[in-house]
């Protein structure tokens, strides 16, 4: 980064920083392309091509997608980062994720449970922000969830950073993962997160997720993605398909690139692990068994 770029980044940091609930939180100084890109690189591990919508409240991205299985269409895991201190104050969340089932033929969606986190990049204390939807609905045109549906169902969909100017999506007037309302009032349980690999800033050391003891030494690898947050969102999105298995995220450097592997374990033997992976593969999810060491 040149001297001019460094000065711009510093100005954006000072202009976008604020203190809410005793914690320092930074927001973009403007909802324009360059300002958003600088903020994303500094504060998140989201890549521009993952972003499907930007509203004044949140930046929404897709971290993983699963092919059509028994349902009418593909399933996505959506991740969002708050872009306003007002939304953070109202929800006590800076980031959140939710699964979205897309019915491409009938232009419908159904959202799963929305989980919020007190820090950026799906870190910190977590709590339920919205219960899962029980019925299909048509997304309001031009909203973030409508953009997510289009990303899943329209081959020619282009995200907001594919053009020179970012076109803002509309805020949904009812239910949307971009402006969640908290439904859990009890004290949230603490969540210990693994290290996050940022795009341009040094890695912040955090407590590692403990790798649970496994009775057979075997583990199932469910995917390898570019960030810890995406790996944990992948595991969260699988939900009941994990059948209560122990899960964790492994960090690995392969051929000069860092990967974060979504893992599951606790298998009695190779037949147990094989049956587990066969069930996930039948639903369109990648899975293979390897040594857990």
* pLDDT tens per residue, range 155-169: 899 999 987 777 777
Is residue 227 within 8 A of residue 196, CB to CB? The reply is yes
Candidates 30, 34, 79, 83; CA nearest to 55 is: 83
Candidates 61, 276, 274; CA nearest to 178 is: 61
**Residue 191 pLDDT > 70, yes or no?**
no
CATH number at 16-162: 2.40.128
Domains 16-162 and 218-291 share a fold: no
> Rounded to an integer, what distance in angstroms lies between the CA atom of residue 231 and that of residue 224?
7
> Rounded to an integer, what distance in angstroms lies between the CA atom of residue 99 and that of residue 80?
12
Q: Which pLDDT belongs to residue 180? A: 52
Contacts of 106 (CB under 8 A, 6+ apart): 72, 136
The domain locations on the chain are 16-162, 218-291
SS (H, E, C) 188-251: CCCCCCCCECCCCCCCECCCCCCCCCCCCCEEEEEEEECCHHHHHHHHHHHHHHHCCCEEEEEE
CATH number, domain 218-291, options 3.30.470.20, 3.40.190.10, 3.40.50.2300, 3.30.70.1070: 3.30.70.1070
pLDDT tens, residue by residue, 77-92:
899 999 988 888 889 9
pLDDT tens, residue by residue, 135-162:
999 999 999 999 999 999 998 999 999 8
Average pLDDT of span 125-133: 90
Q: Which pLDDT belongs to residue 145? A: 93
Burial (CB count within 10 angstroms: exposed 0-12, middle 13-18, buried 19+), residue 254: exposed
Is residue 57 within 8 A of residue 82, CB to CB? The reply is yes
**Per the structure block, which two tokens stand in for 28?**
């973009």
Is residue 284 within 8 A of residue 69, CB to CB? The reply is yes
* C-beta atoms surrounding 182 within 10 Å: 16
**Residue 123 pLDDT > 70, yes or no?**
yes
């Amino acid at each position: 980064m040149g001297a001019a770029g460094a000065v711009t980044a510093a100005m954006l940091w000072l202009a976008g920083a604020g203190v809410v609930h005793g914690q320092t939180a930074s927001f973009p100084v403007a909802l324009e392309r360059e300002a958003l890109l600088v903020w994303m690189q500094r504060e998140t591990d989201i890549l521009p091509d993952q972003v499907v919508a930007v509203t004044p409240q949140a930046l929404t991205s897709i971290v993983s997608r699963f092919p059509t299985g028994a349902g009418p269409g593909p399933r996505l895991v959506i991740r969002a980062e708050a872009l306003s201190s007002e939304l953070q104050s109202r929800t006590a969340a800076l980031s959140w994720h939710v699964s979205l089932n897309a019915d491409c033929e009938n232009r419908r969606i159904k959202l799963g449970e929305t989980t919020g986190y007190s820090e950026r990049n799906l870190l910190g204390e977590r709590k339920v922000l919205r219960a899962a939807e029980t019925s299909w609905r048509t997304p309001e045109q031009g909203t973030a969830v409508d953009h997510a549906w289009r990303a899943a169902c329209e081959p020619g969909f282009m995200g907001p950073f594919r053009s020179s100017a970012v076109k803002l999506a509309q805020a949904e007037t009812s239910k949307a993962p971009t402006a969640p309302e908290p439904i859990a009032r009890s004290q949230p349980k603490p969540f210990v997160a693994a290290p996050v690999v940022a795009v341009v800033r040094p890695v912040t050391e955090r407590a590692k997720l403990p790798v649970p003891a496994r009775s057979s030494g075997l583990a199932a690898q469910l995917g390898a993605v570019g960030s810890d947050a995406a790996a944990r969102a992948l595991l969260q999105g699988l939900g009941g398909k994990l059948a209560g298995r122990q899960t964790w995220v492994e960090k690995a450097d392969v051929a000069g690139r860092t990967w974060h592997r979504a893992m599951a374990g606790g298998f009695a033997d190779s037949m147990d692990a094989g049956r587990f992976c066969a069930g996930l593969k039948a639903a369109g999810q990648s899975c293979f068994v390897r040594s857990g060491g």
